[in-house]
A and B are shown apart, each in its own frame.
Chain A
């Protein structure tokens, strides 16, 4: 049995995205359908980017880049039913390329984590003060300590409910590799949460 409950949860949450008809309308150039699809996609992409890329000054740019790429290449998607996996694959590629570029820049300009890791706050809404959001941010901070590939594998597994084979498909690797990434990444994350009393408290409150 493979985590069917989580897969089912994510599937129901994103059922609208599985609407092949909606994607078909988008491909045909229906502006309204595109807007609707973009509205559905935006939170999913943001979540993956925030967890995979981290909360940085240019995180929203990465989200934007993913969305632009998704709508630019939508016509090339043959299997409309695999839209989500395809979108996450694009997100993964964009995150990796941005991450590499950013690492190079930071190496050039003597990275100061206290400044550069400061989250951008210009768009925060009142909801951000909720425990769940704070817990999300806290988890994202712990996730940032993992390597990109592990981070994204854990995100896809833990936050999106994908199984190893699907993660392997999205990340362009074998399911065995994906399994190892998930296993090691989750272990590191759980260890980090164990050592962080604030995070544990948040987790308990969020669970309630």
Chain B
């Protein structure tokens, strides 16, 4: 049984089929309306509206306006109308407010910058322009330009890195993000231990005349009134010496550079010892007072367990990467190679890893550009290395795959000039011939193929050279 409420009746009366209700519905509606005034009125209004509505229309447009509208419609254009005043007024108000806020922001930013510049009498290392002066750090903040109080054994921690300093050290942190830390040493001495294991991270120390970039190392920077020094306790440090026209130096373990003097020399052991004592890595019982000038520093706490495991650790990483490759987990293998290269950049394992990674990138990962970079990196760093031949031929193969035939010819010619009977000379010669063919120089290509077939007649390359010769002759 249907519920004959007002709502039901009104819905029935509102429908398009109100005049053609089903028999049952009509009985229900009519019986309800007999007792309900509201629904009767509803039905009356509904009927009136149905009768009147079709004949209603908006006020017609004046003829001229209508004519303009029609012509514009036929031309496909909109007649120009004045924008609604209220809306445009609001747009104007919002626009002006936005402009005022923007101006205020710009003024605030410039004000802050100029205030910092006014307070900075020192000069930056790169440009010689006045640098930002250190201001007191807000409590708990680590970024920004402020003096960091360093008191010997209490290091300043920046991500994975630690910085120790003498009591008079004036240090400001210019930038500190997850991937980058830049600190400026204005005065005094700091010892920094950089433990970042990521190739993409950067740790930079700026002094008035130098830019020191490091990764995975321990080093010392001293800024006195008349001299600036950089000493390396562990790992390697790249120094850009602006006092010597921006000359670059790569300092290794126990080396020291005086900024402005274009010469790297061995650091005095007693200085290294003092640096280690500052960090707490060397106890004071073997302190500087007891150390004889010229004696070897006793870096027992840090050096002994560290130096020996480096070789083991790097080889272990290399083994791990090889295992991963064997299991076809190439991405993890690549990450391991990169980690090895980052952590032990000067180790032989890292050199091997460079070539291995490049070969993997060329073969499996199909990242030719990265492969080329790694091959070239190896050749640059170890031009006479054990894997130099591998790196040479890898480079040429990569260039050939990148269709850089002119570079193939240049690289193979350079190799053959240097090592005419080198291990990869047959392939190098054949590839040079192939590159000549690609460039349409069949005569030169035939000479190369001929050389391969004569000098290494039993090699695989001789077969390929014969094929190349046939192709060349067909083309001619």
Q: CB distance A109 to B16 under 8 Å? A: no
A34 contacts B by Cβ under 8 Å: yes
Inter-chain contact count A-B, CB under 8 Å?
157
> Which chain A residue lies CB-closest to B58?
A50
What CA separation (Å) do A71 and B78 show in the bound complex? 13
Q: CB distance B14 to A187 under 8 Å? A: yes
Contact of B62 among A123, A158, A183 (CB under 8 A): A123
CB neighbours of A43 from chain B (8 A): 57, 60
Give a binary string over B54-83; 1 marks a CB under 8 Å from any A CB, 0 the rest.
Answer: 111111111001100111111011110100
By DSSP majority rule, is chain B's interface helix, strand, loop, or mixed? helix
Known contacts: A2-B17, A2-B20, A124-B59. The answer to whether A194 contacts B41 by CB under 8 A is: yes
Contact of B50 among A6, A58, A61 (CB under 8 A): A6
What CA separation (Å) do A31 and B74 show in the bound complex? 8
Give a binary string over B229-268; 1 marks a CB under 8 Å from any A CB, 0 the rest.
Answer: 0000000000000000000000000000000000000000
CB distance from B39 to the nearest CB of A (A): 11
Q: CB distance A190 to B58 under 8 Å? A: no
What CA separation (Å) do A182 and B72 show in the bound complex? 34
Q: CB distance B14 to A159 under 8 Å? A: no
By DSSP majority rule, is chain A's interface helix, strand, loop, or mixed? helix
CB distance from B249 to the nearest CB of A (A): 60
> Which chain A residue lies CB-closest to B11?
A183
A89 contacts B by Cβ under 8 Å: no
CB distance from B42 to the nearest CB of A (A): 6
Q: CB distance A67 to B45 under 8 Å? A: no
B52 contacts A by Cβ under 8 Å: yes
Q: CB distance A136 to B76 under 8 Å? A: no
Q: CB distance A61 to B78 under 8 Å? A: yes
Q: CB distance A72 to B53 under 8 Å? A: no
| Chain A residues in the interface with B (C-beta under 8 A) | 1-3, 6, 9-10, 13, 31, 34-35, 38-39, 42-43, 46-47, 50, 55, 57-58, 60-61, 63-65, 67-68, 70-72, 105, 109, 112, 115-116, 123-125, 127-128, 132-133, 135-137, 139-140, 157-161, 163-164, 179, 182-184, 186-187, 189-191, 193-194, 200, 203-204, 206-207
Question: Beyond the given A61-B81, A72-B76, A204-B48, could you list 11 further A-B residue pairs with CB under 8 A, ordered by the A residue number?
Answer: A3-B16, A38-B74, A42-B61, A46-B58, A68-B78, A123-B61, A132-B55, A139-B53, A186-B14, A187-B10, A190-B45
Task: Report the 10 A-B pairs with minimum CB-CB distance, sorted nearest first.
Answer: A128-B59, A67-B73, A186-B14, A187-B14, A136-B56, A38-B70, A57-B84, A50-B58, A109-B90, A1-B20
